[in-house]
Amino acid sequence: MIKDDFPYFSNSKITYLDNGATTQKPQRVIDSVVKYYSEYCANTHRGSYKDGNLATLNYEDTRDFVRSFINANSSREIIFTKGVTEGINMVASSFVKENFKTVIISSLEHHSNIVPWHNLGYKKGNGLEVVRFNNNLEFDLSHFEELLKKNPGAFVSVTHVSNVFGIVHPIKKITELTHKYGGKVLIDGAQSLSRINIDVKEIDADFFVFSSHKSYGPTGVGVLYIKESNIKSFKLYQTGGAVIDRVTYDDSTFLDSPLCFEAGTQNIAGVIGFKSALEYIKSISYEVIQKHEKYLLELLHKGLGEIDDVLLYTHSNLVGGNLSFNIKDITPIDLGLLLDKQGVAVRAGHHCAMPIMEELGIDGTVRVSLGIYNDKEDIENFLAKLKRAVSILKD
């Protein structure tokens, strides 16, 4: 039982189906965080003594592990951040701002890939373009190409897997087309790292961002992958300690990437714990994860299909891990609340993706978001509790 690897499930009876928001942590991740704090807690890249060196070694070891995990060329390309939100904000401020007239996003973006652009003055029709979706919410590649033709040299920032609907975007095709028209691409892997093998060379992304906590690692840690050829043009985001080569009152000179992009003391325990999370994913294997997730999604679709008035927004074969639905004439928040009262944790609402909700003319959805440990019993329990909630809420 995979659940046995996660202490949360010994302590909680909740049927946890909100993995798109955050995942539970396996014992080995918790152990590595505790080990750092209790056995060799010291700052990294500073004091040259036993524990400081060990902390630095393990921190940098995670960087190298991440590099190999996503098949990056060099550790210089791996920057630790707080998470996807910080990663996107960094790219927006340090690379896109002033250098790109147009930013292109998909219709299925999380607010973290919309608001940073607004904040820099890219507004829809005035620097910000949104790719339309086809039936079933699929990314409209022909509209995308139209936008690229109209805006050569654009910056494209799209999610790999939609946090609301689970739609998997054709990122390989997206990067190919972007490069064909002289642009650069950022891929938001917040929802994909836990379920899809990421090979940044194969994807050929200029930037790839992800968060540790959505992939069984600690909160407050993320990674920004910067393709080597973009590092030179990437401006410093924050400055301070740990990023400098030499400082006088007149001026400062800076270290190279990655350290120049990691000002201040980092989330050392979190970074070290993240390596354990990636090792855990590797030990299970993406093949097993995907096969199991497909099986659960089929159960879910089948079960939902047996409930009257269920509104689904896409096909099960297009999605990875996240599934959104509504039930006619019932607000999603009410469903979420009554599921909560029966011990089932799902997300209900707009999922930090208000524009797509508006476009679909809905207030929100109920989202079931799967994790590595969810099983058939979880889905059956969810469906039974959903039926009870619906019977209470229907007139």
Partner 1 sequence: MINERVKKIIDDLEMFDEDIDKYEYIVDIGKNAPDLEENLKKDEFLVHGCTSKVWLIPQLIDGKLNFKADSNSVIVKGLVTILVSIFQNLYIDDILNFNNTELEKLNLTEIISPTRQNGVYHMLNKIRHYAEVYKEGV
**364 or 371: whose CB is closer to partner 1?**
364
- Which strands make up the sheet holding 322-327, listed edge to edge? 310-312, 322-327, 365-369, 347-349
Helical packing angle, 376-393 and 332-340, nearest 10° = 120
Per CB under 8 A, the list member of 230, 349, 359, 387 interacting with partner 1 is 349
* CB of 14 vs partner 1, minimal distance in Å: 13
> How many residues are given for the chain?
395
Between CA 90 and CA 234 the distance in angstroms is: 9
Question: Which of 205, 261, 274 lies closest to 232, judged by CA?
Answer: 261
Per CB under 8 A, the list member of 3, 195, 350, 367 interacting with partner 1 is 350
* CB of 362 vs partner 1, minimal distance in Å: 12
**60 or 363: whose CB is closer to partner 1?**
363
Segment near partner 1 (CB under 8 A), from 162-170, 282-290, 375-383, 387-395?
387-395
| Residue of 352, 354, 362, 393 with catalytic role | 352
Q: Helix or strand or coil: residue 225? A: strand
Half-sphere exposure of 278 (CA within 13 A, CB side): 25
Q: Show the binding pattern over residues 316-345: x = contacts partner 1 (CB under 8 A), - = does not.
A: ---------------x-xx--xx--xx---
**103 or 330: whose CB is closer to partner 1?**
330
**114 or 330: whose CB is closer to partner 1?**
330
Number of residues that bind partner 1 (CB under 8 A): 15
Q: How far apart are the first and last CA of the chain?
A: 41
For position 78 contacting partner 1 by CB under 8 A, the verdict is no
Q: Could you give the C-alpha distances from 34 to 31, 37, 38, in angstroms and in order?
A: 5, 5, 6
- Told to judge if 352 belongs to the known catalytic residues of this protein, a careful annotator would answer yes
Per-residue HEC secondary structure of 348-393 comes to EECCCCHHHHHHHCCCCEEEEECCCCCCHHHHHHHHHHHHHHHHHH
**45 or 351: whose CB is closer to partner 1?**
351
Residues annotated as catalytic are: 352
- What are the residues binding partner 1 (CB under 8 A)? 331, 333-334, 337-338, 341-342, 349-350, 363-364, 388, 392-393, 395
